[in-house]
Amino acid sequence: MNILPISSASRIALYIAAPIAADLFVQYFQKDMKYFSNLDFWSKRGVIVITTLVVMIPLIAQEGLSLIAAAACLGMFFLAYKLLEVAYINGRLKHIETIDVQDQSLTKIPSKISQCVNLRGLNLSCNQLQHFSDAISNLPNLEVLLLGENQITTVPQSLARLAQLRALGLEDNKLEAFPEVIFALQNLSDLVLSDNTIQNIPPGIKKLSKLQVFVLCNAQLSKFSDEICELVNLKDLNLHSNELSSIPLTISKLTQLEYLDLSHNQTKEFPSGICKGPVESLQSLLLDHNQLKSIPSDIGCLNKLRNLCLEQNQLDSLPTSLAALSHLECLFISDNKLTEMPLELARLPRKCVIHAERNQFTKEAVENFLKEVKQVRVQNSDLGPDFYFSPKPSEYDRATWIDHRMKILDEDRPYQTSVIVFE
């Protein structure tokens, strides 16, 4: 005899809703259930089954069913529900386009990730991965793959299956050689391999004809490969903190290059002829912390240059052609052996800032240059950059130099003075 007067349809609906309600109940409260959150997958499902049985007891009692029959019915309903749940999850996986699981202490890549067939971006940086899972290679639409700051030692040949990959980050891993399988990625435009012990670049790199950004910093690189200069679409080349001793003339082939960082190397010469021709697209040139003793006069041909960094070298003079850099915004020449500034540089743009601290400027050289800046600014308010100097300590004490500077710059000045910083 029924305890509650409910229809057959209602009872069926309750049978179906019970396990669903139980699962939702557990999912909702699991954040506040510390013990529950530590259970494995099947233990959690056991909790859900028990919770469902509790919910179903009134229905079982009113139908007068045996416990075995009730358990069988419950099992069928629960199994059907879980199949629907799995189908739903798998369906969701197929529609995911980006996954970001960086800094999650992962030691392996979940195999289910291969079900995300429409995945376009995957960030697994800052984990503890030691192996490159083949599951990643089964993502035909993947365009961005970030695996930086892990412990990966090798890259499998299966990577070549990622035909759509455009950006690959493998910086700060434990690679001891350039992974040549990368050369099969014909659509690659961004490649970062910094902070690995890669001592040379194989000739096959020229196959990456679409490469626009190449970063290989702090990698014990000893030679600037000529094959890099075959990458005619390259816009950003960053090879700082290596052991490069020379720069090939063929770098002038990089007609699209906008950013070149060769700082913190062992380069002794910047060859004349590099700055001529189609490399004029260059906007930032970083050559600081090298062993350069001179800069070629044709550097003035880089008419789009905005940032030029030459600090921490052995320069004792600067070419007057620097004055032709009409778009220059920052010129760093600190920590060299300069004794004077070419007066022509006073005609650099007003927006330009020159950092020239810790050189060997004499009193006369600084006075002459500041006077020239003053005259140029009076003639053209768009010219006359700001300079940051520190004079030779042996010639002035701080108070004397400040007073002398003010006498030079404050006389009849209708403009902002240059600034001199002591260090």
Percentage of the chain beyond pLDDT 70 is 69
Least confident of 38-52, 162-176, 327-341: 38-52
**Contact of 351 with 368, CB cutoff 8 Å:** no
Q: What is the pLDDT of residues 108-163, one digit of tens each?
A: 888 778 888 888 999 999 999 998 888 888 899 999 999 999 999 999 999 999 99
16 band by pLDDT with thresholds 50, 70 and 90: low
Pull the structure tokens for residue 18: 């019970």
Sign of the four-CA dihedral 367, 368, 372, 378: positive
The pLDDT of residue 115: 80
CATH fold for domain 96-238: 3.80.10
Instruction: Decide if pLDDT at 52 tops 70.
Output: no
Place of tokens 């910094």: 194
The larger pLDDT score, comparing residue 144 to residue 89, is at 144
Candidates 388, 383, 373; CA nearest to 335 is 388
CA 83, 88, 92, 94 torsion: positive or negative? Answer: positive
Q: Calculate mean pLDDT across residues 291-296.
A: 94
Residue 323 is which amino acid?
Answer: A
Give pLDDT, residue 89: 47
The pLDDT value recorded for residue 110 is 80
Q: What is the pLDDT of residue 22?
A: 58
- Answer yes or no: are the C-beta atoms of 130 and 147 closer than 8 Å: no
pLDDT greater than 60 at residue 308:
yes
Q: Which two tokens stand for residue 398?
A: 């701080």
Structure tokens at 125: 């940086």
pTM over 0.85: no
Q: Kindly report, residue by residue over 310-355, the tens digit of the pLDDT.
A: 999 999 999 999 999 999 999 999 999 999 999 999 999 999 999 9
Give CA–CA dist 310/121, Å, rounded: 38
What does the pLDDT read at residue 401?
40
> What are the C-alpha distances in Å from 8 to residues 4, 72, 381?
11, 18, 91
Question: Tell me, what's the pLDDT at 132?
Answer: 83
* 191, pLDDT greater than 90: yes
Average pLDDT over residues 84-113: 72
> For the chain, which residues make up each domain, given as ranges?
8-95, 96-238
- Residue 8: exposure state from Cβ atoms within 10 A (0-12, 13-18, ≥19): exposed
Q: What is the predicted pLDDT for the residue at 131? A: 86
So what's the pLDDT on residue 418?
35
Q: Is pLDDT of 395 > 60?
A: no
The amino acid at 207: K
CA distance 299 to 309: 13
Query: Which among 412, 405, 330, 400 is positioned nearest to 375, based on CA atoms?
Result: 412
